Homo-oligomer: A and B are copies of this chain.
Amino acid sequence: MSNQSNEKQADPTDTAAFAVLAGISTATISTTLMKNGLRNVWIRGARDMQAQGGGRLVGRAFTLRFIPGREDLSTPESLASPYSTRGAIEEMPAGCIAVVDAMGITDVGIVGDILCARMRQRGVTALVSDGAIRDIAGVRRTGLPVWCSGVAAPPSVAGLAFVGWQQPIGCGGVAVLPGDIIVADEDGAVVIPAAFLETVLATAPDTEQMESWVLDQVNAGRRLIGLYPPNQQAADEYASWQKSQPGNRRGGE
């Protein structure tokens, strides 16, 4: 059985929280975090390789770290070491999102079809990186969702050296710690620091619902001034509307 080493079960609290987050855009999450003092949470260069129409994915960050390649470190032989990308993948819990610090090096592929297939087997939710992947045709066949900088044919050892996992990393100009929450959709991937999860859950669904109401108003022909952001009158209008809704929080259901 493929997942016998992967017995760790998802935290039920996470499961509930992530269901809520799956209903909130990364745009709204970014706004919420900014209102709480965090301006740098969006991973530059990690774009949705599935292109238009993809859904939104949520998971705890499992981090991998590369440094620039050096011919004595970056050898085909190094790939056989337990202390390699292979070793890291075998430690990934189901439901995590693998976040890979490629130091912005985009001319080698950090992983290809085989490693992505194994991540998929282990129940990894997605791969996010500021680096590139290789064998995109094969990776697509594995079904593993990927957000990254693009494609590159050469193997990682042509330009990178792997140094470890579950360390703090930088990815696309953003700090990511193991266990932070990653949310990724068509706008890219954002990091919710673990300590901010409660705050986001407490306020982002309301923001999402309010923006949905505002959009309806705009589509009905209403002007932006006083509406978005809402002045007192618009806020009252929204509150009335919200109370009239059967379920009070769109994002939460």
Contacts of A174 in B (CB 8 A): 68, 70
Copies assembled: 6
Q: Check if A152 sits within 8 Å of B42, measured CB to CB.
A: yes
Q: Check if A121 sits within 8 Å of B39, measured CB to CB.
A: no
Q: Check if B151 sits within 8 Å of A188, measured CB to CB.
A: yes
Contacts of A2 in B (CB 8 A): 220-223
Whether A19 is near chain B, meaning CB under 8 Å from some CB there, is: no
Q: Check if A136 sits within 8 Å of B186, measured CB to CB.
A: yes
Give Cα A89 to B245, complex, Å.
Answer: 31
Q: Check if A153 sits within 8 Å of B68, measured CB to CB.
A: no
Contacts of A107 in B (CB 8 A): 42, 44, 173
Residue of B nearest to A68 (CB): B170
Q: Check if B168 sits within 8 Å of A27, measured CB to CB.
A: no
Most chain B CB within 10 A, of A51, A77, A114, A231, is at: A114
Give Cα A179 to B67, complex, Å.
Answer: 16
Whether A79 is near chain B, meaning CB under 8 Å from some CB there, is: yes
Identify which of B1, B70, B193, B224 contacts A70 (C-beta below 8 A).
B193
In the complex, how many angstroms separate the beta carbon of A76 from the nearest chain B beta carbon?
Answer: 6
Q: Check if A155 sits within 8 Å of B109, measured CB to CB.
A: no
Give Cα A151 to B221, complex, Å.
Answer: 26
Whether A237 is near chain B, meaning CB under 8 Å from some CB there, is: no
Identify which of B37, B73, B215 contacts A175 (C-beta below 8 A).
B73
Supposing A30-B154, A158-B30, A175-B69 touch, asked if A86 and B40 sit within 8 A by C-beta, the answer is no
| A residues neighboring B (CB under 8 Å) | 1-3, 5, 25-27, 29-31, 34-35, 37-42, 44, 47, 51-52, 67-73, 76-77, 79-80, 82, 86-87, 89-90, 103-104, 107-109, 112-115, 117-118, 121, 134-138, 140, 150-155, 157-159, 161, 163-164, 167-170, 173-175, 185-188, 190, 193, 195-196, 211, 214-215, 218-225, 228-229, 231
